[in-house]
């Protein structure tokens, strides 16, 4: 799976921005800004609390986490949209499933 620059869900476009800092809170690795049509995730240049860079795998997991937020919002499931445990578990499941769906030549 490649990290795209944009994605469409239910006819709405969402820009995916890879940034060194997602917001003022350094603990956030991603944000889903539905009203702005933007998903922000850490870039390959971002560093964690210990100075380590985030791997491609971790950034994909962050993107899927934010996309699960978006999906729950889009289908009107606000309780699920705000439930970090469920969102994270769904993203982790997708991280395992998606590579199995990709064409292996």
Q: Which CATH number fits domain 6-101: 1.10.10, 3.40.1700, 3.30.2310, 1.10.30?
A: 1.10.10
Sign, CA torsion 7/8/14/15: positive
CB 46 within 8 A of CB 53: yes
The mean pLDDT values, 10 residues at a time, for the chain of 105 residues are: 92 93 81 94 79 85 96 95 95 93 74
On whether the pTM is more than 0.85, the answer is yes
What pLDDT is attached to residue 105?
Answer: 63
What pLDDT is attached to residue 39?
Answer: 96
Sign, CA torsion 82/44/25/22: negative
What pLDDT is attached to residue 48?
Answer: 72
């Amino acid at each position: 799976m490649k990290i795209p620059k944009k994605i469409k869900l239910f006819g709405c476009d969402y820009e995916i921005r890879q940034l060194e800092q997602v917001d003022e809170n350094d603990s956030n690795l991603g944000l889903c800004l539905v009203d702005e049509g933007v998903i922000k995730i850490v870039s390959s240049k971002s560093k964690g609390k210990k100075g380590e860079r985030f791997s491609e795998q971790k950034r994909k997991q962050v993107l899927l986490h934010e996309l699960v937020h978006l999906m729950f919002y889009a289908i009107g499931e606000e309780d699920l949209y705000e439930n970090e445990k469920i969102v994270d578990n769904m993203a982790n499941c997708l991280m395992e499933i998606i590579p199995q769906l990709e064409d292996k030549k």
